[in-house]
Amino acid sequence: MSTLTIPGVLRGAAEHIQTHGWTRGAFYRPAVKQRVVPGPIDLYGPGAAEQTVKVEQYLDYEHAPACALGAIGIAAGVQDLLLGAEGAGVHGWGHLPEDDPRHIYSEAALALRYYLEVELNTDQAVPVWNDHGAVTVETVVGAFQGAAEAVERWGMAGLRQRATHKRMGQRPKRHSILTEAEVSILKSQATWTPTSEAATEAMKSMGEALAMVGKEIKALAALTQVPEALLGLEGPDPADVPSEDTTEVDAVMAIEAAVAALTEPVNA
């Protein structure tokens, strides 16, 4: 059995809708099908203890058109739980172990919600968005694929952070957020790389402060002292590559000045 991942579940949901269809107003629109199943053993038939068979009808959810959340449920393998009594407790699934399919379903649904906020400018819950008249099957499939790419690029924490900024009316700027994943990228790719624990902690503190505090202007002014190679993810301009006399202490002091600026009250 392959390991479930959040991007994999989101892409699986897109594939289900492309293959089997999309619906509004319900998790699934199953078709009534028939299957042959074992019947009771006939102890008095021509042969001794003959196994009989019977035909029964059933609702085929696995291949049914699905709404956005229903498709995520199928991709995560929890569609039966969504339809059963346990589905009422879906909001508690996020606290389950990370490899539990119910947890992955919950995280994939959250990833889609965050993506809708960041890229499609909607604060609607996924079921409300799914049922909106302007939404089409192409919209839903595109949102699944975009959300999968966003999780791979930023991680769940980074995507959640961007959704929070969007909700607060603060579109993240290029220098505004340093997630743990971005710090890792910078440490591995930047021309100038911090090596001390103090530098790493200062970078994390800056990222946390910028994510939580909306008044960024003074911080950005302080950050002009920090080389572009340290703060930018697109690669440094030649003029921004640190010179030989740029020291780790210089950069750490500039970062700490930015954090200090964020913690000070700013007059409106």
Read off the pLDDT of residues 35-67 as tens digits, 9 standing for 90 and up.
887 777 766 656 556 666 788 888 888 899 999
pLDDT level of residue 195 (50, 70, 90 thresholds)? low
Cα–Cα distance list, 129 to 24, 26, 39, 151, 234 (Å): 10, 13, 45, 20, 33
Rounded Cα distance between 104 and 11, Å, is 13
pTM, two decimals, is 0.59
The pLDDT score that the predictor gives to residue 181 is 56
**Mean pLDDT computed over 9-32:** 95
Extract long-range pairs of 114-118: CB within 8 Å, 24+ residues apart.
Answer: 114/147, 114/150, 114/159, 114/160, 114/162, 114/163, 115/143, 115/146, 115/147, 115/150, 115/159, 116/143, 117/163, 117/166, 117/167, 118/150, 118/159, 118/162, 118/163, 118/166
pLDDT at residue 193, rounded to an integer: 46
pLDDT of amino acid 201: 64
Q: Are 144 and 67 in contact (CB under 8 A)?
A: no
pLDDT: is 125 or 91 the higher one? 125
Ranked by mean pLDDT, the top range of 116-130, 186-200, 240-254 is 116-130
- Backbone torsions φ then ψ of 49, nearest 5 degrees: 50, 60
